[in-house]
Amino acid sequence: MTAHLDNHTVPSWDLFRKFTIEKRIAFFALDRHPVHILYARQFTRTFLDELYILTNKIRLIAKTNHGKSWLSTLLENRRVMLYFAQPSTRTFLSFATACETMGMRFYDVRSLETSSEMKGETFEDTIRTFSSYFDLVILRHATPNYAEHAAIVLNRSRRPIPLINAGSSKDEHPTQALLDIFTLRKSFEKLGGLSRKTVMLVGDLKRGRTVRSLAVLLAQFAPIHIIFCAPKELAIDDEIIAFLKDHNVTCTQTTDFEANLPKTDAVYMTRTQSEYTDAKSLASSSKAYHTAAYTLTQKHLNHLKPNSIIMHPLPRKNEIAREIDNDPRAMYWRQVRNGMWTRCALIAKIFNIEKKILDH
Ligand code: CP
């Protein structure tokens, strides 16, 4: 059966799930209302440029108490549901503080244990309930495609509201990719920009949703070179490599971390996603990963270019030695802070108050 996209009606989930990724992205184009942020592939270069300018502007306004007070009036009548059915520290707190900065009241469900889904309620009914009370849903879930499915449910409800994917399964973490791109652009602002740089993504590239989303966004800055560095069993999917090759990105795949370090302008470390590892394979994948081969330590710093930057989406296990935290090239704590500002800007775009902020 051929799935047919009709711009004027919302397909059922059963129909939508048969769409190709290109059709899904077309359906959730960012000029449609309500805006749903689901995939890194939704973002155009224009969108990223606008978000970069807006993020910088919000940061600047928030430097004064008067500015902070003004920002907190912008969305004061809006309510947000933070539905986090998987653990989170940064994404949850940065969205919570972003909502607060923009004057929004937020409520949270942080465990399915406290949701009526535990009593057998379908998640469709749970999502429709959110649309009765809130103006935005921010969702983290371990189930693949849950965010898209929830967006379809919202679009079919009587009160369609926007949804942001705050991390879905192993697939996508689009807002982490936005803050990573912001950090990369900021770091290379006076060094010729992000294009033509070499970025090395290290670690569990098979199941790490942050690297999958970031790799896709890096394509917006082509020509650019990406080195994917992982043990063989945790290598990046062929589908991502094919996408990047189609988008003028040159890629190298390697298992050799140390040999490639001196070539990089940015090294992006990640942890083993052991929450997705079954008990049988846990031992072998942990063994492969917890070797010094994929850990950045003090001894590596001399191999890095003086202007290279070190990134990590966090949380970390042992991928970056703690003594590196004070090196001026370490950007991972800046990423944490940038996450809040980037999410403020994203919320401002969703609620169409961008011009008001830029005119301030
Ligand atoms: N980077 C990130 O998603 O962190 P949390 O899991 O703590 O939200």
Q: Taking the mean position of all CA atoms in its chain, how far away is CA 81? A: 18
Indicate whether 34 pLDDT > 90. yes
SS3 59: helix
7 and 89: one domain?
A: yes
CATH number at residue 63: 3.40.50.1370
Residue 25: how many CB atoms within 10 A of its CB?
16
Domain annotation covers residue 52: yes
232 and 140: one domain?
A: no
Tell me the percentage of the chain whose pLDDT exceeds 90: 87
| Average pLDDT estimate for 7-29 | 91
Domain annotation covers residue 319: yes
Residue 117 DSSP label = G
179 and 280: one domain?
A: yes
Q: How many domains does the chain have?
A: 2
Model confidence over 302-345: pLDDT tens digits? Answer: 999 999 999 999 999 989 999 999 999 999 999 999 999 999 99
* 314, 317, 337: residue to mutate for ligand 1 pocket, most atoms within 8 A of CB: 314
Domain annotation covers residue 297: yes
330 and 344: one domain?
A: no
317 and 181: one domain?
A: yes
* 169, 176, 319: residue to mutate for ligand 1 pocket, most atoms within 8 A of CB: 176
Residues 6+ apart with CB under 8 A from 194: 181, 184, 185, 188, 218, 221, 224
63 and 85: one domain?
A: yes
Domain annotation covers residue 76: yes
Instruction: State pTM to two decimals.
Output: 0.94
pLDDT band at 2 (very low <50, low <70, confident <90, very high): very low
Is 173 part of the annotated catalytic residue set?
yes
154 and 178: one domain?
A: no
219 and 123: one domain?
A: no
Indicate whether 1 pLDDT > 50. no
| Average pLDDT estimate for 281-306 | 76
Mean pLDDT value across the chain = 93
Model confidence over 196-248: pLDDT tens digits? Answer: 999 999 999 999 999 999 999 999 999 999 999 999 999 999 999 999 999 99
Protein residue with least CA distance to atom 3, ligand 1? 91
Domain annotation covers residue 358: no
194 and 320: one domain?
A: yes
Catalytic residue among 36, 78, 91, 312: 91
SS3 133: helix
343 and 229: one domain?
A: no
| Average pLDDT estimate for 240-259 | 97
Output the pLDDT for position 286: 53
Give residue 184's domain range.
174-337
| Average pLDDT estimate for 16-23 | 95
317 and 207: one domain?
A: yes
Domain annotation covers residue 354: no
Domain annotation covers residue 359: no
Domain annotation covers residue 45: yes
167 and 179: one domain?
A: no
Output the pLDDT for position 283: 52
Residue 329 DSSP label = T
